[in-house]
Chain A
Amino acid sequence: MNAILLVEQTLNGLQLGVMLFLLAAGLTLVFGIMNMVNLAHGSFYMVGAYLTVAAANWTGSYVAGVVLGLAGTLLVGIVVELVALRTLYERDHLDQVLATFGLILFFNELVAILWGRAALFASIPAFFSGHVEIVANLRYPLYRLVILGIGLAVALLLWYVVARTRLGMLIRAGASNRTMVAALGINIRLLYTLVFGFGAVLAGLAGLLAGPIYAVQPGMGELILIQVFVVIVIGGIGSIRGALVGALVVGMVDTMGRAFLKPVLGSIISPTAAEAAGPALASMLIYLLMAVVLALRPQGLFGARGN
């Protein structure tokens, strides 16, 4: 274990954290404002990845692919909201869980029909490829730095919108008292659709960024969705700040755990035992963290008490 490895893994951890944040931000807003459990959020992640790859291949341009991919994801998000989810706002959580679960099955299969079950190849565009020498002897993929940058930019943008604009004020008000906001004459339906669509776009963005690094295949959304849930539970439902903090923490803990737990364990107990226990424990780390946070603060770090 040396300093270079440490820095590299730290950057990896932050990059994962930033991806988780893109997903968690939209989801926690939907949880907090519309009080709705949306298991199909991972499907927007998947749709974003697939549409971008398909559009890029079709037009031959990465930029066009991104634009079309994001626009397409927004469209899908709005259609889903209008057609399937409107009626679910009034229903109890169980109904929402089951209905959105049905949506997951639908989307996974749809994608499999259109593009097959094998993983698609998503390439890193030329202008983002290659490595950057951050410090002496440390060459880090440029693409991952780009992801980090984009994620932080989005975080800043979100902070600005939520804290400094009227729309953000509506969102915060809606999160704490939606009947009041409706009574004030604000078009709640429009607000909900906007929030939902925005969340879907963020998820799609995460998906298209993830494409080259992780596999683009049916079911890719669900793999990362559970981690997103952990982020939201730790950060607190409805809180964007919580989503950011939670995402960075989870990203770091997971990455560091996978990289360093085995060797660290190996120096404490025997290397052969660490060989078996290390990966197993590493994969459990974020859940144990979640359990600890819950034991101390059941509503998450930044969640509101009761409600």
Chain B
Amino acid sequence: MRAHLRLIVVIAGLALLALVPAIAAALNQPFYIDLLRRVMIFAIAALSLNLILGYGGMISFGHAAYLGIGAYAVAILSHHGIHNGFLQLAVAVGASAGIALVIGAVSIRTSGIYFIMITLAFTQMLYYLGISIEEYGGDDGMRLPRRSEFSDLVDLGNPVSFYYLVLGVLIAFLYLSHRLVNSRFGMVIRAAKSNEARTRAIGIAPYPYRLVAFVIAGAMCGVAGMLLVNHTNYLTPDFMHWTRSGEIMFMVILGGLGTIGGPVLGAFVLLLLEDLLSGWTQHWQIILGPLLVLAVLFAKRGLAGLLPGARRDD
């Protein structure tokens, strides 16, 4: 029953998102298309983090790295004259997955405080790497020479087409997450989070499964990075700054850990909140900071916990 209610809310939300271009045109505010496209891209990033954080209990503070890797893959290829979107996508996913594999292999052997710090450190390493390579903009970043080209399938230059592409990816990844989380693989990941000793006792070593989940999450975030750089038309190492990881984490928490639709809601709320606050004052972070602290202290179960049909478990 509860699952069905949640599903209805998610579908309703997606339907609303699908109507945004039409609504924006009617109100003559094309800005909304831009805004919500950005929200959706971060929702995809948050969704990928939710897999390992919400369901897997792996507090990875370095997830923004994959946003950067996906973006850099596209920008670098484009810089060298390769604009084929499919090829860029393959490289973005491949690079994200590959680097996630390496970082994960080292980090997942640890746990607790160590894991948090290590993922944080590796992300900063990539950030400094990005800064130090002058050819790709170094500190200031670089413009994207040309948007990714997908033959005649979709034109990223057209805001509405791009919007629906992002929406499509979001829906696809939502569905993928749903299948993943309830599959045998997903059960192992969730079990390892719930009770690691018990999982080892029944005969499962969590490490390899966690590593695979880490790689999948990294690859999905790489896709978000590709979309992001096409959206902003500009790329800076800030894409992978660790504070960005913190933002994405907050989206996952705000929305509600371990729910499929939560991250989308979290992305929506956090980004709209940031937008709103920055309209009031340039010092909006001084309001956001304590707000986040309060949210952690008092609204632990996130917004999804406030939705109808939410149940207390555990």
- Which of A's residues lie within 8 Å of B, judged by CB? 31, 35, 37, 84, 87-88, 93-95, 97-99, 101-110, 112-113, 222, 226, 229-230, 232-233, 237, 276, 279-280, 283-284, 287, 290-291, 294-295, 298-300
Whole-angstrom distance between the Cβ of A116 and the nearest chain B Cβ: 11
| B308 interface residue per 8 A CB criterion | no
Closest to A35 in B: B113
Stretch with Cβ within 8 A of A (4 or more), from B22-30, B37-45, B73-81, B289-297: B289-297
Chain A interface mostly helix, strand, loop or mixed?
Answer: helix
Of the A-B pairs whose beta carbons lie under 8 Å apart in the complex, a sample of 27, sorted by A's number, is: A35-B113, A93-B112, A93-B116, A97-B59, A98-B249, A98-B292, A99-B293, A101-B243, A101-B249, A101-B250, A102-B289, A102-B296, A103-B289, A104-B243, A105-B286, A105-B288, A106-B289, A109-B283, A113-B283, A229-B120, A276-B133, A280-B133, A284-B125, A290-B121, A294-B106, A294-B110, A298-B114
Report the bound CA distance from A259 to B29 in whole Å: 54
Point out the residues of chain A lying under 8 angstroms from B133, CB to CB. 276, 280
**Residue contact B253 to A98, C-beta cutoff 8 Å:** yes
Task: Name the contact of A98 in the complex, choosing from B117, B131, B246 (C-beta under 8 A).
Answer: B246
**Residue contact A101 to B292, C-beta cutoff 8 Å:** yes
**Residue contact B291 to A37, C-beta cutoff 8 Å:** no
Interface of chain B residues 116 through 144 with chain A (CB within 8 A): 116-118, 120-122, 124-125, 128-129, 131-135
| B300 interface residue per 8 A CB criterion | yes
Point out the residues of chain A lying under 8 angstroms from B132, CB to CB. 279-280, 283
**Residue contact A226 to B296, C-beta cutoff 8 Å:** no
Point out the residues of chain B lying under 8 angstroms from A104, CB to CB. 243, 289
**Residue contact B59 to A94, C-beta cutoff 8 Å:** yes
Report the bound CA distance from A103 to B120 in whole Å: 17
| B242 interface residue per 8 A CB criterion | yes
**Residue contact B117 to A233, C-beta cutoff 8 Å:** yes
Point out the residues of chain B lying under 8 angstroms from A284, CB to CB. 125, 128-129
Report the bound CA distance from A5 to B82 in whole Å: 45
Point out the residues of chain B lying under 8 angstroms from A37, CB to CB. 113, 116-117
Closest to A237 in B: B113
**Residue contact B292 to A93, C-beta cutoff 8 Å:** no
Whole-angstrom distance between the Cβ of A107 and the nearest chain B Cβ: 8
Q: What is the 8 Å Cβ interface bit string for chain B, positions 252-286, against chain A (1 contact, 0 not)?
A: 01000000000000000000000000000001011
**Residue contact B290 to A106, C-beta cutoff 8 Å:** yes
| B200 interface residue per 8 A CB criterion | no
Whole-angstrom distance between the Cβ of A232 and the nearest chain B Cβ: 7
Closest to A107 in B: B289
Point out the residues of chain B lying under 8 angstroms from A280, CB to CB. 129, 132-133
A283-B291 CB under 8 A given contacts A97-B116, A98-B296, A294-B118:
no
Closest to B293 in A: A102
Point out the residues of chain B lying under 8 angstroms from A299, CB to CB. 114
Point out the residues of chain B lying under 8 angstroms from A97, CB to CB. 59, 61, 116, 246, 249
Q: Which 9 pairs, one residue from A and one from B, show the smallest C-beta to C-beta distance?
A: A106-B289, A105-B289, A102-B292, A109-B286, A102-B293, A287-B125, A283-B128, A229-B117, A109-B285
**Residue contact A222 to B293, C-beta cutoff 8 Å:** no
Whole-angstrom distance between the Cβ of B120 and the nearest chain A Cβ: 6
| B179 interface residue per 8 A CB criterion | no
Report the bound CA distance from A198 to B5 in whole Å: 51
- New A-B contacts (14) at CB < 8 Å, excluding given A95-B297, A226-B242: A35-B113, A97-B59, A97-B249, A98-B296, A99-B297, A102-B290, A102-B296, A105-B286, A230-B121, A287-B125, A290-B118, A294-B106, A294-B114, A299-B114
Closest to B102 in A: A291
| B109 interface residue per 8 A CB criterion | yes
Point out the residues of chain B lying under 8 angstroms from A107, CB to CB. 289
Task: Name the contact of B120 in the complex, choosing from A226, A295, A300 (C-beta under 8 A).
Answer: A226
Closest to B122 in A: A287
Point out the residues of chain B lying under 8 angstroms from A95, CB to CB. 296-297, 300
Report the bound CA distance from A23 to B59 in whole Å: 23
**Residue contact B285 to A105, C-beta cutoff 8 Å:** yes
Report the bound CA distance from A294 to B291 in whole Å: 36
Point out the residues of chain A lying under 8 angstroms from B286, CB to CB. 105-106, 109-110, 113
Point out the residues of chain A lying under 8 angstroms from B285, CB to CB. 105-106, 108-109
Report the bound CA distance from A279 to B116 in whole Å: 26
